[in-house]
């Protein structure tokens, strides 16, 4: 369960009271460079982000589609390391103590940093939760102890392939919110239909009281609105990264268009999410 | 493992004992701290289903009978254990035997595993097979059984490897497989593995991921090892027939480590048998261009398992380098990592140049053109054999034939074909 005092729990409680769903945009750290990515992060809450996911670049993102793969390569080229990502969050926290930050990535960079040291430093930097793609519940004991000790939520992923019988295993020790991977596939490819989502949510609701976010394949304001009509949050990643990529110059550097265009798209998504249940 | 092991006993008569080194992995799929199941939730139910299906197949005598039938009449097993007279003479020391896995249908040890897994995929009702390949040997073996059983086959292969292993790419296409060149990363085996996993996660309902080596999430390392252990089991019997005792040293090349695991495993409890795995040192262990994961890597998590990996301080995976596309991988099967840590097997390196020299030595002295992969193992045999007395029995696992490599070798020798 989410600790009542956690930023994630507070944010979902506030939104619930307001009767609206959350928009969770995603950015890849240091994509295409540290300063641009920090500036984008700082501007996201003002453009309508309710929570923010920061991708921790990894050399072998085997669950991600071409758009996030390319963003991860740019992030690594832009100097991203685990330490840099934590520094970025700490800088963000200087000006924002309310917007929850969730790091999403793969296990190996965290393992190399050291799970205990990572959780301590992440909590100190102001990180609220972790989504580790290749850490299923069966292996999560590696991180659960240190994460709990430092007040970090471990957000569990649920997929269409997750059977009802398996849901209790997945939700055991889950906290913060639940991330529903709405399609079988990699990020940024197919989009789940409203029927598929409508069928999936009740079985999750029956198994957990945690807020449910839907991710993978949400690109447009309409799709984001459809997601928050059945769930508590919509995660948009590849669509924003594709826009960012489109604004870069030939050498892969940010341009004057980069922030305005990504933030304008975020604004459109946010308006749709806020109006979805009206 | 310290009991007196009767030498040369057929493997079927040496069941794993409570203290056996052959008992792994544990219920979590771990060999010591290595192995495990580090996959996305979408794949986790499939991995668990595979685990159950494999356990059921393993316990079913009909499955074993079916596999034995195909191994004998289609793969061509048993493969001979050849006493390499001229190589032994040339090196002047230990007596060298070659386990002739290159004589299997499709020219390598790969078919042993592929045959087992395709029968399992059929039992599980899957109709579409995806696989990764480096040198193309696993891809060819997979495309072959898909042709044999009329199944759809998609092979992911790094674009760099597609270029340097053209004959195998053509073979796979002739066999009816779709070969997808992977351009991400350096375009080698690691990238092909990522792309195969992305395909699997996208096509979970009908697709079976046919992993080619003793790596990946549990149960793959165990299952592939079991299917490859036929190599060591035969070696044990054949050496008993030839020499009346166990070999002293077994040498095999290591990429992911399936041919080595297959020949090592039946001997793990025989403390007198030295097991030596030869990693591809590339341009040298300390050149920064190597594929020696155990010798130059450290434990981490990639492609579903914890194992030794070539990686930087931040946990980003390094590109491997080897002249041999089949060894060009920054990781290694988790059971090897464990055997290394407990000291049961030794791991050494051989460079590109040493492998090239061994390739020519074997061809010239034995009339056997070995794959560049096992040429690394031969390079180590050539290093140690002269230092050993003539009573010492070495078995070299000749895991594949080198016809596919003649273009690469010609290029390195400055010959235009």
Encode pLDDT of B221-242 as tens digits: 999 999 999 999 999 999 999 9
Question: A interface mutation test: which of B203, B301, B312, B317 has the most A CBs within 10 A?
Answer: B301
Residue B140 makes CB contacts below 8 A (sequence gap 6+) with: B106, B107, B110, B133, B168, B171, B172, B175
Distance CA B61, CA B38 (A): 31
Cross-chain Cβ contact A136/B38 below 8 Å? yes
Q: Which DSSP state fits B156?
A: E
- Chain B residues within 8 A of A156 when measuring between CB atoms: 41
As given in the structure block, the two tokens for residue A158 are 């649920």
Strand partners, A212: A178
Query: Does the beta carbon of A157 lie under 8 angstroms from any beta carbon of chain B?
Result: yes
Cross-chain Cβ contact B190/A163 below 8 Å? no
pLDDT level of residue B1 (50, 70, 90 thresholds): very low
Q: Is the pLDDT of residue A140 over 90?
A: yes
Cβ atoms A232, A204 nearer than 8 A: no
Cross-chain Cβ contact A108/B309 below 8 Å? yes
Cβ atoms B131, B209 nearer than 8 A: yes
Classify burial at B18, counting beta carbons within 10 Å of its beta carbon; exposed 0-12, middle 13-18, buried 19 or more: exposed
Q: Is the pLDDT of residue B14 over 60?
A: no
Residue ranges of domains in chain B, CATH in brackets: 26-73+110-224 (3.40.50.1100), 78-107+229-412 (3.40.50.1100)
Residue B320 makes CB contacts below 8 A (sequence gap 6+) with: B188, B189, B190, B280, B282, B290, B291, B293, B310, B327, B328, B329, B330
- Chain B residues within 8 A of A159 when measuring between CB atoms: 40-42, 45
Distance CA A250, CA A209 (A): 47
pLDDT in tens, A59-84: 999 999 999 999 999 999 999 999 99
> Quick one: how far is CA B375 from the chain centroid?
14
Q: Counting every residue, how long is chain A?
A: 278
DSSP string, B206-253: TEEE---SS-SSTTHHHHHHHHHTHHHHHHHHHHHHHHSS--SEEEEE
Query: Does the beta carbon of A65 lie under 8 angstroms from any beta carbon of chain B?
Result: yes
Query: Does the beta carbon of A108 lie under 8 angstroms from any beta carbon of chain B?
Result: yes
Cross-chain Cβ contact B202/A189 below 8 Å? yes
Q: Tell me the CA end-to-end span of chain A in Å, nearest whole number.
A: 29
Q: Is the pLDDT of residue B11 over 90?
A: no
Q: Is the pLDDT of residue B153 over 90?
A: yes
Residue of A nearest to B197 (CA): A62
In 3D space, the residue among B335, B184, B367 whose CA is nearest the CA of residue B254 turns out to be: B335
CA angle B17, B21, B23 (to 5 degrees): 60
Q: Is the pLDDT of residue B5 over 60?
A: no
Closest CB to B313 among A112, A160, A161: A112
In 3D space, the residue among B112, B56, B142, B228 whose CA is nearest the CA of residue B48 turns out to be: B56
pLDDT level of residue A2 (50, 70, 90 thresholds): very low
* pLDDT-wise least confident of A122-131, A159-168, A196-205, B363-372: A196-205
Structure confidence at residue B16 (pLDDT): 55
- Tell me the CATH number at A59: 3.20.20.70
Cross-chain Cβ contact B314/A170 below 8 Å? no
Q: Is the pLDDT of residue B10 over 50?
A: no
What pTM was estimated for this model as a whole?
Answer: 0.94
| Alpha carbon separation from B168 to A123, B165, B404 (Å, rounded) | 51, 6, 7
Structure confidence at residue A184 (pLDDT): 84
Cβ atoms B302, B223 nearer than 8 A: no
Q: Is the pLDDT of residue A1 over 60?
A: no
Structure confidence at residue B2 (pLDDT): 39
Cross-chain Cβ contact A136/B314 below 8 Å? no
* pLDDT-wise least confident of A38-42, A135-139, B18-22: B18-22
Query: Does the beta carbon of B316 lie under 8 angstroms from any beta carbon of chain A?
Result: yes
As given in the structure block, the two tokens for residue B318 are 């390094």
Domain of residue A231, residue span: 7-273
As given in the structure block, the two tokens for residue B275 are 């097991």
* pLDDT-wise least confident of B95-104, B325-334, B379-388: B325-334
Query: Does the beta carbon of B309 lie under 8 angstroms from any beta carbon of chain A?
Result: yes
As given in the structure block, the two tokens for residue B394 are 């070495």
A278 domain-assigned: no
Q: What is the mean pLDDT of chain B?
A: 94
pLDDT in tens, A244-259: 999 999 999 999 999 9
- Chain A residues within 8 A of B301 when measuring between CB atoms: 106-108, 111, 134
Give the HSE-up count for residue B166: Cα atoms under 13 Å, Cβ half-sphere: 4
Q: For the residues B126-140, what does the mean pLDDT come to? A: 94
Structure confidence at residue B417 (pLDDT): 84
Cross-chain Cβ contact A136/B40 below 8 Å? yes
Residue of B nearest to A64 (CA): B198
To the query of whether residue B272 is one of the catalytic residues in this protein, the response is: no
Cross-chain Cβ contact B311/A61 below 8 Å? no
As given in the structure block, the two tokens for residue A277 are 């249940």
In 3D space, the residue among B225, B228, B221 whose CA is nearest the CA of residue B334 turns out to be: B221
Distance from CA of B187 to the nearest CA of A (A): 12
Whole-angstrom Cα Rg for chain B: 20
The more confident residue out of B281 and B9 is B281
Q: Is the pLDDT of residue B9 over 70?
A: no
pLDDT in tens, B322-344: 999 889 899 999 999 999 999 99
Where in the sequence numbering do the catalytic residues of A fall?
53, 64
- Residues of chain B above pLDDT 90, percent: 88
Cross-chain Cβ contact A109/B39 below 8 Å? no
Q: For the residues B205-230, what does the mean pLDDT come to? A: 97
- Chain B residues within 8 A of A189 when measuring between CB atoms: 202
Strands A233-236, B30-31: parallel, antiparallel or unpaired by DSSP? unpaired
Structure confidence at residue A235 (pLDDT): 97
Q: For the residues B160-168, what does the mean pLDDT come to? A: 87
pLDDT level of residue A182 (50, 70, 90 thresholds): confident
Closest CB to A63 among B201, B203, B204: B201
Residue B300 makes CB contacts below 8 A (sequence gap 6+) with: A108, A111, A112, B306, B307, B308, B309, B311, B315, B317
Query: Does the beta carbon of A60 lie under 8 angstroms from any beta carbon of chain B?
Result: yes
Q: Is the pLDDT of residue B6 over 80?
A: no
- Chain B residues within 8 A of A163 when measuring between CB atoms: 45
As given in the structure block, the two tokens for residue A134 are 């290749």
Query: Which spans in B250-351 are helix H?
Result: 258-264, 293-296, 334-341
Q: Which long-range contacts (CB under 8 A, 24 or more apart) does B168-174 make?
A: B168/B133, B168/B135, B168/B136, B168/B137, B168/B139, B168/B140, B168/B404, B169/B136, B171/B136, B171/B140, B171/B143, B172/B136, B172/B139, B172/B140, B172/B143
Closest CB to B42 among A83, A110, A181: A181
Query: Does the beta carbon of A274 lie under 8 angstroms from any beta carbon of chain B?
Result: no
Q: For the residues A237-244, what does the mean pLDDT come to? A: 97
pLDDT level of residue B17 (50, 70, 90 thresholds): low
Cross-chain Cβ contact A159/B42 below 8 Å? yes
Give the HSE-up count for residue A55: Cα atoms under 13 Å, Cβ half-sphere: 32
Which of B79, B95, B108, B132 is catalytic? The answer is: B132
Tell me the torsion sign for CA atoms A244, A248, A252, A255: negative
The total domain count for chain A is 1
Distance from CA of B186 to the nearest CA of A (A): 11
For B108-184, strand residue ranges (E) read: 128-133, 152-158, 178-182
* 3-state secondary structure (DSSP) of residue A118: helix
Query: Does the beta carbon of A134 lie under 8 angstroms from any beta carbon of chain B?
Result: yes
Q: Is the pLDDT of residue A4 over 80?
A: no
Count interface pairs A-B at CB distance under 8 A.
Answer: 116
Cross-chain Cβ contact A110/B315 below 8 Å? yes
Distance from CA of A139 to the nearest CA of B (A): 7
In 3D space, the residue among A229, A29, A217 whose CA is nearest the CA of residue A127 turns out to be: A29
Cross-chain Cβ contact A112/B311 below 8 Å? yes
pLDDT in tens, B19-41: 899 999 999 999 999 999 999 99
Cβ atoms B261, B302 nearer than 8 A: no
Cross-chain Cβ contact B42/A184 below 8 Å? yes
Structure confidence at residue B7 (pLDDT): 44
- Chain B residues within 8 A of A61 when measuring between CB atoms: 194
The answer to whether the bond into B78 is cis (omega within 30° of 0) is yes
The answer to whether the bond into B25 is cis (omega within 30° of 0) is yes
Query: Does the beta carbon of B303 lie under 8 angstroms from any beta carbon of chain A?
Result: yes
Cross-chain Cβ contact A69/B41 below 8 Å? no
Q: Residue B46 — left, alpha, or beta (φ > 0 → left; ψ -120 to 50 → alpha)?
A: alpha
Whole-angstrom Cα Rg for chain A: 17
Q: Which DSSP state fits B22?
A: T
A1 domain-assigned: no
Distance from CA of A40 to the nearest CA of B (A): 24
Cβ atoms B249, B324 nearer than 8 A: no
Interface of A with B in 219-258 (CB under 8 A): none
Distance CA A51, CA A127 (A): 11
């Amino acid at each position: 369960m989410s600790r009542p005092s956690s930023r994630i729990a507070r944010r979902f409680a506030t939104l619930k009271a307001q009767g609206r769903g959350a928009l969770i945009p995603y950015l890849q750290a240091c994509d295409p460079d540290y300063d641009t990515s920090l500036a984008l992060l700082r501007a996201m809450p003002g453009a309508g982000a309710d929570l923010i996911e920061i991708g921790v670049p990894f050399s072998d993102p085997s669950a991600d589609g071409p758009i996030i793969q390319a963003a991860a390569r740019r992030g690594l080229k832009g100097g991203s390391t685990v330490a840099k990502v934590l520094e970025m969050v700490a800088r963000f926290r200087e000006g924002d103590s309310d917007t929850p930050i969730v790091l999403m990535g793969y296990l190996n960079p965290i393992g190399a940093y050291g799970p205990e040291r990572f959780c301590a430093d992440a909590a100190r930097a102001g990180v609220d939760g972790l989504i580790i793609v290749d850490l299923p519940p069966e292996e999560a004991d590696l991180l659960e102890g240190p994460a709990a000790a430092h007040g970090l939520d471990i957000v569990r992923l649920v997929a269409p392939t997750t059977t009802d019988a398996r849901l209790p295993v997945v939700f055991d020790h889950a906290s913060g919110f639940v991330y529903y991977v709405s399609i079988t596939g990699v990020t940024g490819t197919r989009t789940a239909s409203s029927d598929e989502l409508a069928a999936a949510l009740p079985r999750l609701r029956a198994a957990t009281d945690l807020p449910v976010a839907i991710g993978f394949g949400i690109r447009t304001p309409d799709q984001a609105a459809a997601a928050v009509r059945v769930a508590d949050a919509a995660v948009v990643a590849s669509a924003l990264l594709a826009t960012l990529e489109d604004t870069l110059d030939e050498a892969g550097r940010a341009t004057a268009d980069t922030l305005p265009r990504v933030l304008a798209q975020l604004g459109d998504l946010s308006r749709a999410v806020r109006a979805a249940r009206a | 493992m310290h009991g007196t092991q009767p030498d040369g006993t057929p493997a079927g008569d040496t069941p794993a004992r409570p203290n056996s080194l052959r008992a792994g992995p544990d219920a979590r799929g771990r060999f010591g701290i290595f192995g495990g199941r580090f996959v996305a939730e979408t794949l986790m139910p499939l991995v668990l289903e595979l685990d159950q299906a494999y356990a059921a197949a393993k316990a079913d005598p009909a499955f074993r009978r079916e596999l034995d039938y195909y191994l004998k009449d289609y793969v061509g097993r048993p493969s001979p254990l050849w006493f390499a007279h001229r190589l032994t003479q040339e090196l002047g020391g230990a007596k060298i035997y070659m386990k002739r896995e290159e004589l299997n249908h499709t020219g390598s040890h790969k078919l042993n595993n592929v045959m087992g897994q395709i029968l399992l995929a059929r039992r599980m009702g899957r109709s579409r097979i995806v696989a990764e390949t480096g040198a193309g040997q696993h891809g060819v073996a997979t495309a072959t059984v898909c042709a044999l059983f009329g199944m759809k086959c998609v092979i992911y292969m790094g674009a760099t490897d597609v270029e340097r292993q053209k004959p195998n790419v053509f073979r796979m296409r002739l066999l009816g497989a779709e070969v997808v060149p992977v351009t991400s990363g350096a375009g080698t085996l690691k990238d092909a593995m990522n792309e195969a996993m992305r395909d699997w996660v996208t096509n979970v309902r009908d697709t079976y991921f046919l992993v080619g080596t003793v790596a990946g999430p549990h149960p793959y390392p165990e299952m592939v090892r079991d299917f490859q252990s036929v190599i060591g089991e035969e070696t044990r019997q054949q050496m008993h027939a030839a020499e009346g005792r166990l070999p002293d040293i077994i040498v095999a090349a290591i990429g992911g480590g399936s041919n080595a695991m297959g020949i090592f495993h039946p001997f793990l409890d025989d403390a007198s048998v030295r097991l030596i795995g030869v990693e591809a040192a590339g341009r040298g262990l300390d050149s920064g261009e190597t594929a020696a994961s155990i010798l130059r890597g450290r434990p981490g998590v990639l492609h579903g398992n914890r194992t030794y990996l070539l990686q930087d301080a931040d946990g980003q995976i390094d590109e491997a380098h080897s002249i041999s596309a089949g060894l060009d991988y920054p990781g290694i099967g988790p059971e090897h990592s464990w055997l290394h840590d407990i000291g049961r097997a030794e791991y050494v390196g051989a460079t590109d140049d040493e492998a090239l020299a061994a390739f020519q030595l074997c061809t010239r002295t034995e009339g056997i053109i070995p794959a560049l992969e096992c040429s690394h193992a031969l390079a180590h045999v050539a290093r140690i054999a002269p230092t050993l007395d003539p009573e010492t029995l070495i078995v070299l696992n000749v895991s594949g034939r080198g016809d596919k490599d003649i273009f690469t070798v010609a290029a390195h020798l400055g010959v235009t074909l």
